[in-house]
Amino acid sequence: MLSSLNAWLWQEKLWLPPNCSWEQLEDRDGRVFAHPHHMLAALPLALVLVALRIVFERFVGLPLGRWLGVRDRVRKPAKPNATLERHFLETGRRPQESQMALLAAQCGLTLRQTQRWFRRRRNQDRPCLSKKFCEASWRFAFYLCTFVGGVSVLYNESWLWTPVMCWENYPNQTLQPKLYWWYLLELSFYISLVITLPFDIKRKDFKEQVAHHVVTITLITFSYSANLLRIGSLVLLLHDSADYLLEACKMFNYTRFTSVCDALFLIFSFVFFFTRLILYPTQIIYTTYYESIMDRGPFFGYYFFNLLLMMLQVLHVYWFGLILRMLINFFRKGQMAKDIRSDVEESDSSDDGLAPEGLQMKNGMTHEPWAAPADGPRSRAARRLANGHVPGT
């Protein structure tokens, strides 16, 4: 069964253009070609990168952040409360006003005390500033190294300046050792990001990030297996050109160097727009969609590869929408606002738009200097909440 599945998976019509075979890509006479099993080395290398990241964040990122003035806020822990903890874990992190009133009555707390407990409990789950800085510093270091390395690998290659050269004599294109190692490093890094997803900071675009990692890993693996390294290398270099700027912007934002952060954000926004919304569709997608089949007919790999590229483009448009919103805020306020993908830490002075400090919850009833009579409609509503009768919405 496995042998038949393997034979079906590696059908030439799925991976190679018409009239091409795997035999043509066998190593001979000193000529070495890309082979799918080469990418298996990315799995152990990804584990090495995870270990290297731990060491880097501990001995480089953390001291660097302290030197630049990164300080974690002192957080007051939420007092142990089994009822509120159970609601927080099982029902929701942000109770509605009616739920908050009922919980306050059950625990014998004021409404404000209940609000404060949930704020402090939410803050406990939020990553501290030093963790954010360490994560950004690791990604900045890697993206900068891969971008510089990619430029050095591709600078003298004709297809960097003329993308149509990616299809010259395709698929009979030999493998260059330096291109192989750069490709392997990129694949290993994205696999390492998937491995560390449960431990990394989760932002509001978490699902889009996961989709991006999966598409990127698939794109790198498929392009290497189908000997599409030339066009694949352009995609990688184009993405790396903006990623290190984003991570540098985050680092300076966490250190509160606002002027440097603002300048980097403007540069990043321009580079992102130019590379991913102009160069990517007009150079990369154009050459893969049109020029790649000028001398050969389309095949499954052609459609699959272009589908992956289009999925990346959808993510580019989505992320530029977020960047555009931040740019609008930037020009309105004169400085960069917070990352709209990030969850903001709440202070104890927040009131969530609910009850003031003076409100006391006793037997489900609200007592205040101007409170309604005990037999009034407000009192009856409070008693219904205390008895577990929550009004329908």
Amino acid 330: pLDDT = 86
User: Exposure of 64 by Cβ count < 10 A (0-12 exposed, 13-18 middle, 19+ buried)?
Assistant: middle
Amino acid 87: pLDDT = 84
Estimate the crossing angle of helix 177-195 against helix 206-225, to 10 degrees.
150
In a domain, 364, yes or no: no
In a domain, 61, yes or no: yes
In a domain, 325, yes or no: yes
Radius of gyration of the chain, Cα coordinates, nearest whole angstrom: 28
Contacts of 189 (CB under 8 A, 6+ apart): 46, 49, 142, 146
In a domain, 261, yes or no: yes
Domain range enclosing 89 = 82-125
In a domain, 52, yes or no: yes
Per-residue pLDDT of the chain (393 residues; tens, 9 = 90+): 777 887 788 888 888 888 888 888 899 888 999 999 999 999 999 999 999 999 999 999 999 999 998 888 777 888 888 888 888 888 887 888 888 888 888 898 888 988 888 888 787 777 788 999 999 999 999 999 999 999 999 999 999 999 999 999 999 999 999 999 999 999 999 999 999 988 888 877 788 899 999 999 999 999 999 999 999 999 999 999 999 999 999 999 998 788 999 999 999 999 999 999 999 999 999 999 999 998 888 889 999 999 999 999 999 999 999 999 999 988 887 766 555 555 555 555 554 444 444 444 444 344 443 333 434 443 444 444 334 444 444
Amino acid 337: pLDDT = 57
C-alpha closest to that of 355 among 103, 118, 101, 102: 101
C-alpha closest to that of 305 among 365, 220, 186: 220
Is residue 94 located within the same domain as residue 196? no
* Residue found by looking up tokens 């952040």 in the block: 65
Can you tell me whether residue 237 is helix, strand or coil?
helix
Amino acid 9: pLDDT = 82
Q: Count CA within 13 A, CB hemisphere, residue 153.
A: 21
Amino acid 332: pLDDT = 86
Is residue 209 located within the same domain as residue 101? no
Is residue 92 located within the same domain as residue 198? no
Is residue 95 located within the same domain as residue 198? no
Is residue 179 located within the same domain as residue 191? yes
Is residue 162 located within the same domain as residue 230? yes
In a domain, 48, yes or no: yes
Q: Where among 288, 315, 337 does a domain terminate? A: 337
Helix runs in the chain, H state only: 2-9, 12-15, 42-56, 62-67, 82-90, 97-107, 111-125, 129-154, 158-161, 177-195, 206-225, 229-254, 258-274, 286-289, 300-333, 377-386
Is residue 92 located within the same domain as residue 140? no
Is residue 243 located within the same domain as residue 290? yes
Q: How much is the pTM?
A: 0.79
User: Exposure of 294 by Cβ count < 10 A (0-12 exposed, 13-18 middle, 19+ buried)?
Assistant: exposed
Q: Where among 92, 110, 125 does a domain terminate? A: 125
Can you tell me whether residue 107 is helix, strand or coil?
helix
User: Exposure of 106 by Cβ count < 10 A (0-12 exposed, 13-18 middle, 19+ buried)?
Assistant: middle
Do 109 and 117 meet the contact criterion of CB atoms below 8 Å apart? yes
Is residue 114 located within the same domain as residue 33? no
Is residue 44 located within the same domain as residue 179? yes
Amino acid 369: pLDDT = 38
Q: Where among 337, 353, 383 does a domain terminate? A: 337
Is residue 296 located within the same domain as residue 164? yes
Amino acid 248: pLDDT = 95
Neighbouring CB atoms inside 10 A of 45's CB total 17
Give the CATH number for residue 88: 1.10.10.60
In a domain, 381, yes or no: no
In a domain, 56, yes or no: yes
Is residue 218 located within the same domain as residue 115? no
Q: Looking at this protein, which amino acid is placed at residue 203?
A: R
d(CA 120, CA 26): 62
Amino acid 347: pLDDT = 59
d(CA 363, CA 79): 22
Strands 360-362 and 365-367: antiparallel
Both tokens assigned to 308: 């992956």
Omega within 30 of 0 (cis) for the link into 171: yes
As for how many domains the chain has, the answer is: 2
User: Exposure of 59 by Cβ count < 10 A (0-12 exposed, 13-18 middle, 19+ buried)?
Assistant: exposed
